[in-house]
Structures are given as C-alpha cells and as structure tokens.
Chain A
C-alpha cells in the first residue's frame, strides 16, 4: 500500500518526545485551574471491622472545608469494574486498611494536614483474613458448619462469586468427564509423577508519577442540579472512568467528560484505580463548587492502590521416561484482596497462560481468586500470566532434573508448533517455531559455553554462577470473546489543512501509543510521519477504542487505524481524483478539494472479529487470543555465598512479536519489562502486617536501580501476523512473564537449590543455605544440583 519510504519498521522520534526531554510536558500535578482546591482522603487504619463513630475536633474551623461522606454520594456508592461490590466510600463496613471513608478539600493544601489529624474514627475491629490459606480455611469451615461465617469476608451473593471467592474457572483439554478419566489413567500408568508448589508475591507498579486527578462539577445555580462532571488525570482508560462517574453521580455517560493528561507511567496501575480517585475528586468538586485536585504522595499511593495479585500454584504432572508430558493438573489461587475489581479477568489470563507453550495430551486447570482483607489487587503488566508462567517454567526445570534431562531437552520434547492445538483447543494456524526460538536464543546468548564454564568453575568458587531459561508466550488482545464485546471504534479525520488526525481513546503512558499509531497511519496514507496528528484523549471528542491494556493497542487499535486510512484513500481516489500513487502535495490538494465540497472527511472503523475466532466462555474452550507472542529468555546469575545475594549478571531475550513496528520503542518495552521482571524475582517485596503494607515508601520497597541491572540483550524474530497493522502483534506485557522463572532456574543451576517462591531476597537465600548445611545430604561446599531437597515431591516412581 505504501508508496513512500517505509515508515513501519523504522524508528521515528517519539511524537511527544521533544516536550518530554525539554521538561515542558505537563503532567497532572503541573496543571492548575482557577479557584482550585486541594483534596485528601481519610482512610481506615484497621483491616476489618465497623465504623463506630467519627468525631471532628472542634479546634478546627470545619466550615472552611468541604467534607464528603458516603451519604453524600448522589448516585450509587460503588465503583463499577466488573461487579459493583466495591464502595466508593466506606459507610460502615471496613474491609481493608487504607479504605477510603471521608474526603476533605480546602483551598490551601497546607490546611489539610492539621485537619486530617483532627478527625478521629473509632471502630469495632474484627480479626482479618490476610492470606489465601486463611480465606480458604474460612470456606472450609463453612462447608462443615453453615453458621461458621465469622471469617467469610465477601459473600459473593450478588456478584457472581461464592463466599470468599470472587471467581473460579475450570479448563479441560477436552470434554470434562473424558478428560478426568484420561487424567486418572495417565497418572495411574506414567513413569514419573512430579509435583510442585510455587508462590509469588504482591508487586507494586511503582510508576514514577503517583496517581492524580483534577475534577470539576457543573452545577445548575438555579436548581442545584448536577449537570455534569469533568475529570482530568493520569490514566490508561478514560472510558472506564466515564462509566464509574456515571454510576456514582447517576448521570448519563455523555455528561461525564474525562481527559487523559500526559501520564508518567502506568503498567496497569492506572487501569482501574483512576475510577476511584477520579470519583473522589469529582465528589469534592460537587461539594465545594470548585475544581479539586487530588495527588497522592508516594506512601498513600503505595498503601492504598492496587498491586499485582499474589499467587499459589500447584502443579502435578505425569511424565514418560523419555520426557513427554502425558497429563497434568494445575491449581491456581490468586489473592484478590478485599473487593473483586479486576480479579476475574486477571484470573482468566492466569488460567489461559498456565499450560505454557507446551502440548498437553490431557490437562485440567482450576483457578480461583480469593478474598482477603488486603487492599484490592489489580492490573499489573502481565495480568496473571507472570504468576502461572513462573510456576510452570520452574516446574518444567524440575521435571528435567528429575528425569536427568537438560532444561533445553525437556522443552524441545514438548513444545507446541504450527498445526498443534493449545490446551483450550485453539488450532495454531500461524507459524509457531519454539524449536527455532530456543536454538537461536541459546546460540545468540552463548548458553552452552557459559553453562559448561560455570559448572567447571563453581566447585572452587564462593560465587556460584548459573544460567537458566524460560520459554513462554503471551496472548495479545482481550481474552476470547473480549474484543467482540469491546467493539472498539476509531476515527480518522482530515483537518482543514488537508492532513490527518487520529482520534482514539488509546492513551500514551510511555509505551509509544502516539508514535506507533501515527506510523501506521503515515504508512497507510503514504504521508510523512510528521504530518500525522493524534489527539489527546478527551471523551467528548474521541470514540471508545477500548482500554489501553492487554497488549492490544498496536495490534487491535493499530489495525483499525490502518483500515480507516485505507477508507480515506478510497474516498479521495473515488471522489477527489487522488492518483495512485500519490505525493504529499497531491494528497493535500485532493483532501482540501474534498473538504470544500463536503465540509468534513472522517473515516470510522469498528472492530470486526475474524470470523474464525470461536470462544466458549462456559466451557473455557476455543480460540483464547487472536494472536500470541512467543519468547525464550536466558538469565545468568551470580550467587555470592558470603553475602547471600543473587545478582542477574546478563540477560538475553529473544521474542517473536510479529513485525516490529518501531525497533527503538520495541527494545525499550522489552528492556523495561525485563527490569520489572528482575525486580519481581529478586528485589520487590510487599511486607504486610495485619493487612498494613509496612514498606510503602521508595526507601524500603526496593526496585532495581541502574547499578543493579545487567546488560540486557534483546533480539527479535519477525514473523508477520495477519492480525495487526503491517504484521504486528502485542508486545507490552510479554517481557514481564519470562524473567522470574529464568532467574530462579539460573539460581538452581548455580546453587543446586530449587527455590519455589518469589520475591527471593538475600534473607531467603541465607535461610535456605544455612539450613542446607545442616541437612544430612547437603553442604555449602558440595551443593549437588541433582539433589532436590527443597520442594515436596511425590517420590518419583519408575515403572518396572
């Protein structure tokens, strides 16, 4: 289609990059409005209980303040995500620490501090439920005694769940009964049965810009009626906030305007949470009649907003002597926190990624998201997949060790390839070549030579080195029927100067939305990249092109932009004599001549499901994702036995993401994701005590610095996909999935110790290593990689 120089596959300057390097970009805290007031949130200090009383110290002149409580909410006291169980403000029941109870605003920010400490809330405190296990125990108790409800913290009655459980899925490789029979038979006759349990911790998104918004409320002075609300802020999904405001204010959606302001990092942490802070600021604006700004400071942001779901995954596999996976059962449990929020969809992605890139003749995956009295967990890059892939890729190494195969060989014997069916029954019609990816990743990273060298050097060194791999995939776009339900729309306008402007609700938060979509339009229209404009999302101007999540923007929204561009060309060729091929000047002339006759030119395109995508939500079978990105990552670690620290010393990442649209941005996405993955594995620990996050500061929640990270080598294998523009697939979340298992596999290679939990901190290594020395079969001087003393195994059973 393109007649000019190719634009896709090159690296033009980031659209908004110039303003960013100049420091001229205005983020939400850099903006102000006339008459602005400042807002703050009064939060619970207990994890579970009831509010007894709220007293306002008379020392403070409260008439200067706007105060909002649950009773002031004009619509429903609920933040709509998938269900309506999440209160906008707690009325009486408290279900987690830092739950919002009151909102305060004042013209002077400094006046808020004293007021905060002059509000006293008394509670009837109840014992909290803080772990998956405690939540399960409560369900268990209920089964034995229907009156044992004291630790049932979420009823589930009107939200599609069951007591303490937000959602459950069950997925089988075939018809359920037949699969269960086949599983039983396979476990009966297999050469080896290998089991393992793997856990992952909560992880903070730690976007460098905390959550913040400015809200306005338009009130009819004559009647006092609320005509509309407007919220500007740092966010991923403007239309999610529109839906939330419509419910909280009981307003039609068209009266709820949301503008995304330049956003300083998000990673999922600004997917659902802006619905909370945005509703809060709008309520204060309603109360005081002024615009209200709420900016969280770091400690509030960390204490009160969502994190990655902690998980526990149990895997049981039947394996043949020659290393073939015969059957498996995988049981996933996520800690969803106090309210359902996005847990059901995070759980869905965890379920669908649990089988990994492998062929399973018979598999059952059961997954559940449990309620606890922890602030709700939510979206974070990867969205459930990092948890299940960590478990699976650790387990695959365990199988290799048990069978005496190499990690490479066990994977080769089980990889999916073109023409195979995934565990959900999806036929892989597009080329999938994990064998080649593995071969290339090992070659490009010099894997074999390094592995041999470490094996030779380790016995005489205090620093044990090791190398590990992870093979995985990530589904791009919404799960199953999700894209059909989103029904995304984009507009492409021709402005009076004859040049195009893209209108989408897809947001830029560093990942490159603006740049990629402009490249796609430029290529399709054969115009220079610099000629394409993209409008900052404002829901009164841009259509709902779906949320900016799930690695869907380049592939799904990009394809819609490409189709819209083609429509514009067809229109101009048919009605304005645009020649083929055309020059920039000819395009502008044709567009302007069309505009003089018709006043406006807009192409609108809506998502069209490829007819061959079938998904059954009830059976959890079918085409789970339109496309997958595939990858093999190689991590090298050094474990210092005197300091008990594990450091990643080199990282190699090979992935097949379809066509790479912008090599520099793509590398940046992969490297940034890997850095977060390294943090997930080795640095970032959320320490909770009675439901309080104890380390809600950057001083004690440690993310990797420039001094901590290894050189990250990024390689792409480009196999154009029919789903995205110019052959692209999704890329954003993939790099979050592989680092943690590759790193722990490398640590096992280095030390012979099979750690099964992340984050893995020096104190954990210390504990295990010192325990190991007292173990009859172990010793620090003689760590034997073949001896696995660290995970529970049903004794491997070799058939006679």
Chain B
C-alpha cells in the first residue's frame, strides 16, 4: 500500500491504495466517481479517458492504463468535474442538443476528449476533430453527431 495525494475536480484527497491500482478503479471505487467508464481495460476505447495534469498541463489519458502511483500529486478532471454546479458545460450542452450522446457510455470520455481538443484548437478543422477523437470509440453514432456537437461547442465557446 502507498499513500498518495491528488486533486480530483478541485477536491484534494489523500488515499492509501495499492501502488499499481488502476487510476480508473481508484476513481470508481475509492472516490465513487462512476462517470469514468471501463469498456476495454487496455487503452483502446477511451471510455475511461480523463484529464490528468502532473505539472505540465492537462493531458487526455486512459485511466485504465495508469497506476495510482503515477497520479501522486497530480490534478485530475473527470466528467463530474466539468459542470460542478449542475449547469451544463457548453460541451455537454452541445452533445445534448446535437445528438452527440446515444447510449451515453462513451460520452464522458468523448466530452473530455472534446474539452482537450478545444483547449488546443478552439476552432478545430474537421481533420483536427477526427484526429482529436481517434482514441475514443463510439459504436452508436457513427461519429457524425459527435462532430456536429464539437462544431457547435466550438462556436459557443468562441462567443
């Protein structure tokens, strides 16, 4: 067991966990943040994607591949942290409006990937959108409504 300190969605936590525990399980089991999903457990699908900042700015990572130890002293954002006061974040709003969420299981990861994409490219081209989401699988939408959601979110945030 090892003790780690981390900040999740602006809340500081100190946890004693097995050092190799997956960050995904730490979030879901120790912090009851079940918005982060597991669909493959091997870094292929992005259902478990979160934003992890270990000092050099937030990165989009697959939490199923990250040992808890690696999150020591890090700052994390999960889907629950995007709209802390129950008002939807503009990205969430656009996914809701444009049909970017169908079954919803990929949606938390997709929304965080979009957040990361729009931070890097506030006005993304189609190629940048496709590239930015290529680590997140969605079986329901065929991605077209998700692209539309991102375009709407970009316009909204640009205002």
Query: Which residues on A are within 8 Å of B, measured CB to CB?
Result: 11, 13-14, 16-27, 29-30, 205-210, 262-267, 297-298, 509-512, 664-665, 667-668, 671-676, 697-699, 703, 705-707, 709, 711-712
A34 to B60, CA, bound (A): 34
Decide: A23 and B98 in contact? CB cutoff 8 A: no
B100 to chain A, nearest CB (A): 8
Query: Which residues on B are within 8 Å of A, measured CB to CB?
Result: 28, 34-42, 44-45, 47, 78-80, 82-83, 88, 92-93, 95-108, 111, 129-131, 133-147
Q: Which residues of B contact A667 (CB under 8 A)?
A: 99, 144-145
Q: Which residues of A contact B129 (CB under 8 A)?
A: 706
- Knowing A17-B96, A23-B80, A703-B139 are in contact, say whether A509-B144 is a contact too (CB < 8 A): no
Chain A CB count within 10 A is highest, among B28, B42, B92, B101, for B101
A201 to B137, CA, bound (A): 22
Q: Which residues of A contact B47 (CB under 8 A)?
A: 208
A25 to B131, CA, bound (A): 27
Decide: A665 and B99 in contact? CB cutoff 8 A: yes
| Beyond A20-B104, A29-B37, A712-B144, 16 extra complex contacts between A and B, CB < 8 Å | A14-B101, A23-B36, A24-B35, A24-B80, A206-B139, A207-B139, A208-B37, A209-B105, A263-B103, A264-B39, A672-B102, A675-B142, A676-B142, A697-B40, A698-B39, A706-B130
A-B pairs, 9 with minimum CB distance: A23-B35, A510-B103, A264-B105, A23-B79, A20-B104, A675-B142, A510-B102, A671-B142, A698-B44
Q: Which residues of B contact A210 (CB under 8 A)?
A: 39
Q: Which residues of A contact B104 (CB under 8 A)?
A: 16-17, 19-21, 25, 262, 264, 510
Q: What would 9 A/B residue contacts be, using CB atoms closer than 8 Å?
A: A20-B104, A26-B34, A298-B40, A668-B145, A697-B40, A698-B137, A699-B42, A703-B139, A706-B146
B145 to chain A, nearest CB (A): 5
A713 to B66, CA, bound (A): 39
Decide: A18 and B34 in contact? CB cutoff 8 A: no
A707 to B126, CA, bound (A): 10
Decide: A22 and B88 in contact? CB cutoff 8 A: yes
A668 to B36, CA, bound (A): 24
Decide: B145 and A208 in contact? CB cutoff 8 A: no
Decide: B140 and A265 in contact? CB cutoff 8 A: yes
Q: Which residues of B contact A297 (CB under 8 A)?
A: 41
A664 to B96, CA, bound (A): 11
- Knowing A29-B38, A676-B139 are in contact, say whether A706-B103 is a contact too (CB < 8 A): no
With beta carbons under 8 angstroms apart, the residue of A19, A21, A27, A511 that contacts B105 is: A27
- Knowing A21-B111, A23-B79, A709-B143 are in contact, say whether A668-B102 is a contact too (CB < 8 A): yes
A321 to chain B, nearest CB (A): 41
Residue of chain B at shortest CB distance from A707: B134
- Knowing A23-B108, A703-B137 are in contact, say whether A264-B96 is a contact too (CB < 8 A): no
Decide: B35 and A265 in contact? CB cutoff 8 A: no
Decide: A21 and B88 in contact? CB cutoff 8 A: yes
Main secondary structure of the interface of A (DSSP, over half): loop
B110 to chain A, nearest CB (A): 9
Decide: B98 and A267 in contact? CB cutoff 8 A: no
Decide: A22 and B142 in contact? CB cutoff 8 A: no
Decide: A30 and B34 in contact? CB cutoff 8 A: yes
Main secondary structure of the interface of B (DSSP, over half): loop
Q: Which residues of B contact A22 (CB under 8 A)?
A: 35, 79-80, 83, 88, 92
Decide: A706 and B143 in contact? CB cutoff 8 A: yes
Decide: B83 and A267 in contact? CB cutoff 8 A: no
Residue of chain A at shortest CB distance from B105: A264
- Knowing A23-B79, A27-B105, A263-B103 are in contact, say whether A672-B134 is a contact too (CB < 8 A): no
A27 to B28, CA, bound (A): 13
A206 to B138, CA, bound (A): 10
A664 to B145, CA, bound (A): 8
A23 to B107, CA, bound (A): 7
A30 to B37, CA, bound (A): 9
A417 to chain B, nearest CB (A): 31
Decide: A265 and B88 in contact? CB cutoff 8 A: no
Decide: B141 and A668 in contact? CB cutoff 8 A: yes
With beta carbons under 8 angstroms apart, the residue of A24, A25, A27, A671 that contacts B144 is: A671
A643 to chain B, nearest CB (A): 18
A733 to chain B, nearest CB (A): 14
Q: Which residues of A contact B101 (CB under 8 A)?
A: 14, 17, 20-21
With beta carbons under 8 angstroms apart, the residue of B78, B88, B142 that contacts A673 is: B142
Decide: A706 and B140 in contact? CB cutoff 8 A: no
Decide: A207 and B103 in contact? CB cutoff 8 A: yes
Decide: A208 and B39 in contact? CB cutoff 8 A: yes
- Knowing A262-B104, A264-B104, A264-B105 are in contact, say whether A706-B99 is a contact too (CB < 8 A): no
Decide: B143 and A675 in contact? CB cutoff 8 A: yes
Residue of chain B at shortest CB distance from A701: B44
Decide: A208 and B35 in contact? CB cutoff 8 A: no
Q: Which residues of A contact B133 (CB under 8 A)?
A: 705-706
A668 to B92, CA, bound (A): 17
Q: Which residues of A contact B88 (CB under 8 A)?
A: 18, 21-22
Decide: B103 and A264 in contact? CB cutoff 8 A: yes
Decide: B35 and A672 in contact? CB cutoff 8 A: no
Decide: B96 and A671 in contact? CB cutoff 8 A: no
Decide: A209 and B103 in contact? CB cutoff 8 A: yes
B72 to chain A, nearest CB (A): 22
A672 to B35, CA, bound (A): 23
A286 to chain B, nearest CB (A): 27
- Knowing A207-B103, A510-B102, A511-B102 are in contact, say whether A705-B137 is a contact too (CB < 8 A): yes
Residue of chain B at shortest CB distance from A663: B99
Decide: B105 and A265 in contact? CB cutoff 8 A: yes
Decide: A672 and B146 in contact? CB cutoff 8 A: no
Decide: A672 and B41 in contact? CB cutoff 8 A: no
Q: Which residues of A contact B40 (CB under 8 A)?
A: 298, 697-699
A504 to B151, CA, bound (A): 36
Decide: A709 and B139 in contact? CB cutoff 8 A: no
Residue of chain B at shortest CB distance from A679: B139
Q: Which residues of A contact B140 (CB under 8 A)?
A: 208, 265, 510, 668, 672
Q: Which residues of B contact A668 (CB under 8 A)?
A: 99, 102, 140-142, 144-145
Decide: B134 and A711 in contact? CB cutoff 8 A: no
Residue of chain B at shortest CB distance from A269: B139
Decide: A13 and B97 in contact? CB cutoff 8 A: yes
Q: Which residues of B contact A207 (CB under 8 A)?
A: 103, 105, 139
Decide: B144 and A21 in contact? CB cutoff 8 A: no
Decide: B139 and A672 in contact? CB cutoff 8 A: yes
Q: Which residues of A contact B106 (CB under 8 A)?
A: 208
B88 to chain A, nearest CB (A): 7
A210 to B39, CA, bound (A): 7
With beta carbons under 8 angstroms apart, the residue of B45, B135, B143, B144 that contacts A208 is: B45
Q: Which residues of A contact B131 (CB under 8 A)?
A: 707
Decide: B34 and A672 in contact? CB cutoff 8 A: no
Residue of chain A at shortest CB distance from B101: A20
A158 to B57, CA, bound (A): 66
Q: Which residues of B contact A13 (CB under 8 A)?
A: 96-97
Decide: B108 and A208 in contact? CB cutoff 8 A: no
Q: Which residues of A contact B147 (CB under 8 A)?
A: 706
- Knowing A13-B97, A297-B41, A664-B98 are in contact, say whether A208-B103 is a contact too (CB < 8 A): yes
A107 to chain B, nearest CB (A): 14
Residue of chain A at shortest CB distance from B113: A706
With beta carbons under 8 angstroms apart, the residue of B34, B103, B111, B134 that contacts A265 is: B103
Residue of chain A at shortest CB distance from B112: A23
A511 to B102, CA, bound (A): 6
Decide: A267 and B139 in contact? CB cutoff 8 A: yes
Residue of chain A at shortest CB distance from B134: A707
A298 to B39, CA, bound (A): 7
B34 to chain A, nearest CB (A): 4
- Knowing A23-B35, A23-B79, A208-B47 are in contact, say whether A705-B134 is a contact too (CB < 8 A): yes
A297 to B38, CA, bound (A): 9
Decide: A208 and B139 in contact? CB cutoff 8 A: yes
Residue of chain B at shortest CB distance from A697: B42
Q: Which residues of B contact A298 (CB under 8 A)?
A: 39-42
A665 to B144, CA, bound (A): 12
Q: Which residues of B contact A19 (CB under 8 A)?
A: 104
A510 to B142, CA, bound (A): 13
